[in-house]
Structures are given as C-alpha cells and as structure tokens.
Amino acid sequence: MKFSKILSFFCAGLLWAGATLAEEKAGQWYLTPGAVGVWVADGLPRDDEGGFSISFGRALTDKINLEVMYSRVDHSGSGGAADQDINEYQLNFMRVWFRDASWSPYFLLGLGAMDIDSSDSTLSDNQKSGSIGMGLLIDLGSGGNVSLRSELRLRKFFAESGSTNDVVATIGLQIPFGSPHAEPPPPAPRDSDGDGVVDGADRCPGTPRGRVVKPNGCENDADGDGVVDGADRCPNTPAGAPVDARGCPLDSDGDGVADYMDNCPGTPAGTRVDNRGCELADEIHLRGVNFETNSAALTADSSTRLDDAVATLIKNSDLRVEVAGYTDSSGSAAYNENLSRRRAQSVMNYLVSHGVDAGMLSARGYGESNPIASNATVAGRAENRRVTLRILGE
C-alpha cells in the first residue's frame, strides 16, 4: 500500500462529519472497532497492507482518555519472503481538546508489543512498540451515541537488528456506553452576611446579622442622616441636621439643644438655656400669649408661645417658677388682681397639661402693679397686660 493511498484513506475519514460532536463524556466507557492501513518502512520483508483494530477505553476526565487496543494486519511477504501476520497490543493515552466542539482533535501516545507470526521462523518475533499520533473525533449525527474516529500515527518497534518505523492510519466508529459522571449541582448562591441578598447582588456586604435590608443588600436609612436604621439611636432626625456616629443630632456646646435648633451656639458650659439654646433670663415674658376680652380663656394663637415655654421648663425641671399675671390700669384694682390671678392660673394649667411638673410651678396675680409701659396709651396698656415666668431658684 502506497503512502499516498494511506493518506487518502485518512483524509476520507476527516471529511465524513456531522454538525455537532457526539463524543463520550467523562466517566463513560467506549468501544472503537475500525479499519487499519499500514505503510511499511522501507527494507522490511513485507508489503503495505490493511487490517482491523478494536479499542476499549474510558474517558477519565473531560480531557483525558485511557484505552487498550488490539489490531491485526496480515502482510504479504515482499522479495520472496513468507507472509507475516502481525498482532499488536497497545495501551494508549489520549489528550482530547474541545470535547464539546464541532471538531475534537486529540493527541495519542501509546506503548505496546507486536507478535509477528510467519511460516518462516526467522521472520517470527515478539517486539516492543511505541506510537505517537494525532486524530479527530467527529459526530455522525446519531444523537450523541456514535462518533467517527480518524487517526494517523507513527509506530516504532524495536528488534534486535534495530528499530524501524511504520505509518498507521485508522478509521473507525467510537461507541460510548455507560453513564457519564454526574454533573455536580451548581453551588448555592452564597450569602456571606446572611441578610437574604446573595453576594453577587449585595451592594453592602458585611451587614450585621438581623438587620433589615433593601433588595440591594443595604440597610435602610429612613431619616437620610447617613446612619442606617439598625444603628440609628435617634431615628427621624430632620433632614440636613448634622449627626454623630449614632445618628443623633450634634450639640457642639453641650447645652442640651441640638446644633440645628440652637439659636445661640457657643453658650459657655454650665449656662442654663431655654429650648432655643439661649441663656435663660430671670423673667421670661410670654409675648404672644393672649386671652379673650375680660376673660381668663386663652386664645388659639397662644399655643405656639406656650409650647416653647413647656419645652424650656421640661429642660430645666429642677427650677422653681412662678407664673405671674398682670393687667393694665383699666377697671378697679380688685377686679384686675382677680383677673390677673385667673389668667396666671390658666397659663399654669396649660403648662401642666402639656407635661410640666406641677410641683415646680406656682401662680400669682399682680393686677395692675409693676407696669412696664405707660397706661396712658393703647400700646402701653397692651404691654402691661402680660404673663411672665419668674425664676425663683432651684
């Protein structure tokens, strides 16, 4: 058999291809019956010839196959020599590339032995052999059950007279059987911080256990102060108010009034302040607190100023405070004293009903005494009709 014929034989196998590779998967066994063509090295007493082979192997991994092969080729003798029947036994290591691609090339390395049987005892021999080659596995469109296997290898065998080389072409069908390795289930998505959001989608890894998070894995910050709700000791801080690491408003001068509400920042330490952060006066004039005409009933617009007074008194709950009522000079002195007392009591009742400790308060009416403006004018009389909070001490 000429080398050109062997090459044509090999190329024909390469052209016989389907659309998708159907090779065995890792863990499967396979059987490969095939036809063999041998181009004999020059100088040997036998002609080129064809025969058959059969391989039995297993795909150990996605890349590695291991197989045993048996082949039989009956050679005609050349130059008057007797016929020679060659039985070859070989262990093959295969490195497969692109097992899931349309064409799957492989590299082969084999070690074995050759049993040469002839009627001429001088030609009979047992020889060690080795092979190196390349091949292709191609689908036949059989739904993944059968592949075409085409292979070309250089076979070297060793005799006492020296080593020789043959070229061997093989074409056959590779038929897998048995179950492949079970594909391991995909790993469960990891959620390292246990917040219910997998790591791949978690924008805030390392969230402490038990915290409530948004779909992106970050904790909510309901008041927008930059401190997450789980760590916020002062939730509902007004927007824009500077806060500390606990989420509580800053109080730079330590007067108990947060900076965002402090109208008098920088108050010296220990200074008593009102609810606006300003130094507490000895007497607080409750401007804006008004009553119905000739009555002790508070008008609706008085509540804003009184609520400020409530906040100041609660902040300074260790003080003793007198609620003092005054009138202008209109009417009799007795009437004015009674009216001022009732008005002072009305203010005190409001303060107590809104959380001020009754024990720190007392109410007294001073009538038309101690005017702060002239009773001769309308504006002056309005100034004199007043209620004040007098600080009596601690």
Interval 219-258: pLDDT, tens: 788 888 888 888 888 888 888 888 888 889 888 888 888 8
Range 385-389 average pLDDT? 92
Average of per-residue pLDDT values in the chain? 85
Range 285-314 average pLDDT? 90
Look at strands 320-326 and 283-285 and give their pairing. Answer: unpaired
CA distance 121 to 23: 43
Domain at 3-177: CATH code: 2.40.160.20
For the stretch 83-99, pLDDT in tens is 889 899 999 999 998 87
3-state secondary structure of 348: helix
AA identity, residue 143: G
Range 57-71 average pLDDT? 92
Range 254-280 average pLDDT? 88
Range 51-57 average pLDDT? 94
Range 208-212 average pLDDT? 82
| Rounded percentage of the chain residues whose pLDDT exceeds 90 | 37
pLDDT at 22: 41
Confidence class for position 333, pLDDT limits 50, 70, 90 = very high
pLDDT at 197 over 60: yes
Q: Which two tokens stand for residue 366?
A: 């001073």
pLDDT at 4: 47
Could you tell me which residues come within 8 angstroms of residue 188 by beta carbon, excluding any fewer than 6 positions away? none
Lowest-pLDDT range of 66-80, 121-135, 159-173: 159-173
Backbone φ and ψ of 314, nearest 5°: -65, -40
pLDDT at 144: 55
pLDDT at 180 over 80: no
pLDDT at 103: 75
- Architecture in CATH of 281-393: 2-Layer Sandwich (3.30)
pLDDT at 15 over 60: no
pLDDT at 262 over 80: yes
Look at strands 361-365 and 320-326 and give their pairing. Answer: parallel
pLDDT at 311 over 70: yes
Higher per-residue confidence, 339 vs 163 = 339
CA distance 291 to 344: 11
pLDDT at 347 over 90: yes
pLDDT at 16 over 60: no
| Rounded percentage of the chain residues whose pLDDT exceeds 70 | 90
Q: Give the other-Cβ count within 10 Å of 11's Cβ.
A: 13
In the chain, residues under CATH classification 2.40.160.20 are 3-177
The predicted model scores a pTM of 0.47
Lowest-pLDDT range of 22-26, 34-38, 292-296: 22-26
